[in-house]
Amino acid sequence: MPSSLIDRLDVLFADSRGEGGIKVDDDFRETLERIRQQLRHSALSINVSGRLRMLLQKSTKEFFMILCGHAPTETRRLMRKSQQAFTSSLEILKRNAQKEVFSPVDSEEILERLSVIESEWREYSRLLQEAEGDGEEGKKAVRYVAEKNPDLLEKIEHLVSFFENLAYSLHE
Protein backbone atom coordinates (compact mmCIF):
# COMPACT_ATOMS: atom_id res chain seq x y z
CA MET A 1 0.00 0.00 0.00
CA PRO A 2 1.51 3.37 -1.01
CA SER A 3 2.33 5.41 2.07
CA SER A 4 3.26 8.86 0.82
CA LEU A 5 1.38 11.24 -1.41
CA ILE A 6 4.14 10.85 -4.01
CA ASP A 7 3.66 7.05 -3.94
CA ARG A 8 -0.07 7.49 -4.36
CA LEU A 9 0.50 9.77 -7.34
CA ASP A 10 2.77 7.10 -8.84
CA VAL A 11 -0.11 4.63 -8.61
CA LEU A 12 -2.30 7.09 -10.50
CA PHE A 13 0.37 7.49 -13.16
CA ALA A 14 1.01 3.75 -13.42
CA ASP A 15 -1.56 3.30 -16.20
CA SER A 16 0.42 5.47 -18.61
CA ARG A 17 3.44 3.20 -18.08
CA GLY A 18 1.42 0.03 -18.79
CA GLU A 19 1.44 -1.12 -15.18
CA GLY A 20 -2.27 -0.93 -14.42
CA GLY A 21 -3.58 1.81 -12.19
CA ILE A 22 -6.26 4.41 -12.59
CA LYS A 23 -6.80 6.02 -15.98
CA VAL A 24 -6.68 9.78 -15.90
CA ASP A 25 -6.95 12.35 -18.67
CA ASP A 26 -3.96 14.46 -19.71
CA ASP A 27 -5.14 17.61 -17.91
CA PHE A 28 -5.53 15.73 -14.66
CA ARG A 29 -2.16 14.05 -15.16
CA GLU A 30 -0.49 17.44 -15.75
CA THR A 31 -2.13 18.86 -12.63
CA LEU A 32 -0.93 15.92 -10.57
CA GLU A 33 2.59 16.24 -11.99
CA ARG A 34 2.63 19.95 -11.10
CA ILE A 35 1.52 19.11 -7.53
CA ARG A 36 4.15 16.39 -7.37
CA GLN A 37 6.87 18.86 -8.42
CA GLN A 38 5.62 21.43 -5.91
CA LEU A 39 5.78 18.83 -3.15
CA ARG A 40 9.33 17.90 -4.07
CA HIS A 41 10.45 21.52 -4.22
CA SER A 42 8.63 22.34 -1.00
CA ALA A 43 10.32 19.45 0.80
CA LEU A 44 13.72 20.52 -0.51
CA SER A 45 13.06 24.15 0.44
CA ILE A 46 11.95 23.26 3.97
CA ASN A 47 15.04 21.08 4.42
CA VAL A 48 17.51 23.63 3.04
CA SER A 49 15.99 26.62 4.84
CA GLY A 50 16.14 24.63 8.08
CA ARG A 51 19.78 23.94 7.28
CA LEU A 52 20.33 27.73 7.00
CA ARG A 53 19.07 28.12 10.54
CA MET A 54 21.41 25.40 11.80
CA LEU A 55 24.40 26.79 9.89
CA LEU A 56 23.86 30.29 11.29
CA GLN A 57 23.85 28.88 14.81
CA LYS A 58 26.87 26.67 14.09
CA SER A 59 29.00 29.45 12.59
CA THR A 60 28.08 31.75 15.50
CA LYS A 61 29.07 29.10 18.03
CA GLU A 62 32.38 28.60 16.19
CA PHE A 63 32.95 32.37 16.19
CA PHE A 64 32.63 32.50 19.97
CA MET A 65 34.79 29.40 20.36
CA ILE A 66 37.54 31.16 18.37
CA LEU A 67 37.27 34.25 20.57
CA CYS A 68 37.58 32.01 23.65
CA GLY A 69 40.77 30.53 22.20
CA HIS A 70 39.38 27.03 21.67
CA ALA A 71 41.49 25.41 18.91
CA PRO A 72 41.37 28.64 16.89
CA THR A 73 42.97 27.28 13.70
CA GLU A 74 40.74 24.21 13.44
CA THR A 75 37.63 26.08 14.62
CA ARG A 76 38.25 28.86 12.08
CA ARG A 77 38.44 26.21 9.35
CA LEU A 78 35.15 24.73 10.55
CA MET A 79 33.57 28.19 10.70
CA ARG A 80 34.60 28.94 7.11
CA LYS A 81 33.17 25.60 6.04
CA SER A 82 29.88 26.46 7.81
CA GLN A 83 29.83 29.87 6.14
CA GLN A 84 30.40 28.33 2.70
CA ALA A 85 27.61 25.81 3.32
CA PHE A 86 25.29 28.68 4.34
CA THR A 87 26.05 30.58 1.13
CA SER A 88 25.61 27.42 -0.98
CA SER A 89 22.27 26.74 0.70
CA LEU A 90 21.10 30.27 -0.13
CA GLU A 91 22.01 29.65 -3.77
CA ILE A 92 20.06 26.38 -3.82
CA LEU A 93 16.98 28.16 -2.49
CA LYS A 94 17.29 30.96 -5.03
CA ARG A 95 17.61 28.50 -7.92
CA ASN A 96 14.67 26.51 -6.58
CA ALA A 97 12.50 29.64 -6.36
CA GLN A 98 13.35 30.57 -9.94
CA LYS A 99 12.09 27.26 -11.31
CA GLU A 100 8.50 27.71 -12.37
CA VAL A 101 7.19 25.38 -9.70
CA PHE A 102 5.85 27.87 -7.19
CA SER A 103 3.35 30.51 -8.20
CA PRO A 104 4.92 33.75 -9.50
CA VAL A 105 3.70 35.58 -6.38
CA ASP A 106 5.23 32.96 -4.06
CA SER A 107 8.48 32.90 -6.05
CA GLU A 108 8.75 36.68 -5.82
CA GLU A 109 8.11 36.56 -2.06
CA ILE A 110 10.74 33.82 -1.62
CA LEU A 111 13.33 35.75 -3.64
CA GLU A 112 12.65 38.94 -1.65
CA ARG A 113 13.09 37.10 1.65
CA LEU A 114 16.27 35.43 0.41
CA SER A 115 17.65 38.77 -0.79
CA VAL A 116 17.20 40.30 2.67
CA ILE A 117 18.77 37.28 4.38
CA GLU A 118 21.66 37.22 1.89
CA SER A 119 22.37 40.93 2.36
CA GLU A 120 22.42 40.64 6.14
CA TRP A 121 24.45 37.42 5.95
CA ARG A 122 27.21 39.12 3.92
CA GLU A 123 27.89 41.64 6.69
CA TYR A 124 27.43 39.06 9.43
CA SER A 125 29.77 36.61 7.72
CA ARG A 126 32.37 39.30 7.08
CA LEU A 127 32.45 40.24 10.75
CA LEU A 128 32.72 36.60 11.77
CA GLN A 129 35.84 36.36 9.61
CA GLU A 130 37.43 39.61 10.77
CA ALA A 131 36.99 39.26 14.51
CA GLU A 132 40.26 38.64 16.24
CA GLY A 133 41.16 39.04 19.87
CA ASP A 134 40.30 41.89 22.22
CA GLY A 135 40.84 44.89 19.91
CA GLU A 136 38.16 47.34 18.87
CA GLU A 137 37.32 45.32 15.75
CA GLY A 138 36.83 42.20 17.86
CA LYS A 139 34.57 44.04 20.31
CA LYS A 140 32.59 45.58 17.44
CA ALA A 141 32.14 42.15 15.86
CA VAL A 142 31.01 40.57 19.15
CA ARG A 143 28.42 43.32 19.70
CA TYR A 144 27.18 43.05 16.11
CA VAL A 145 26.91 39.26 16.22
CA ALA A 146 25.20 39.31 19.61
CA GLU A 147 22.67 41.90 18.42
CA LYS A 148 22.14 40.66 14.86
CA ASN A 149 22.01 36.89 15.46
CA PRO A 150 18.45 36.81 16.90
CA ASP A 151 17.14 39.04 14.09
CA LEU A 152 18.75 36.98 11.32
CA LEU A 153 17.64 33.76 13.00
CA GLU A 154 14.06 35.08 13.12
CA LYS A 155 14.12 35.97 9.41
CA ILE A 156 15.32 32.47 8.58
CA GLU A 157 12.65 30.97 10.85
CA HIS A 158 10.00 32.99 8.98
CA LEU A 159 11.41 31.63 5.71
CA VAL A 160 11.11 28.05 7.01
CA SER A 161 7.52 28.77 8.09
CA PHE A 162 6.74 30.28 4.70
CA PHE A 163 7.91 27.08 2.96
CA GLU A 164 5.97 24.94 5.44
CA ASN A 165 2.82 26.94 4.75
CA LEU A 166 3.31 26.50 1.00
CA ALA A 167 3.58 22.75 1.51
CA TYR A 168 0.52 22.66 3.77
CA SER A 169 -1.49 24.61 1.22
CA LEU A 170 -0.89 21.79 -1.28
CA HIS A 171 -2.68 19.39 1.04
CA GLU A 172 -5.82 21.49 1.33
Lowest mean pLDDT: which of 14-28, 32-46, 119-133, 153-167?
14-28
CA 26 to chain centre: 33
At 33-46, the pLDDT tens digits run 877 787 888 888 99
Q: Considering just the CA atoms, what is the radius of gyration of the chain in Å?
A: 21
- Phi, psi (5° rounding) for residue 52? -55, -45
The answer to whether the beta carbons of residues 139 and 25 sit under 8 Å apart is no
Is the confidence at residue 19, as pLDDT, over 80? no
Q: Where in the sequence is the domain holding 128, given as residue range(s)?
A: 5-171
The sign one gets for the Cα dihedral 49, 51, 55, 61 is: positive
Q: Please give the pLDDT value at position 166.
A: 84
At 86-142, the pLDDT tens digits run 999 999 999 888 877 777 788 899 999 999 999 999 999 998 887 665 677 778 888
* Count of domains for the chain: 1
pTM: 0.80
DSSP H stretches of helix in 14-135: 26-67, 72-98, 104-130
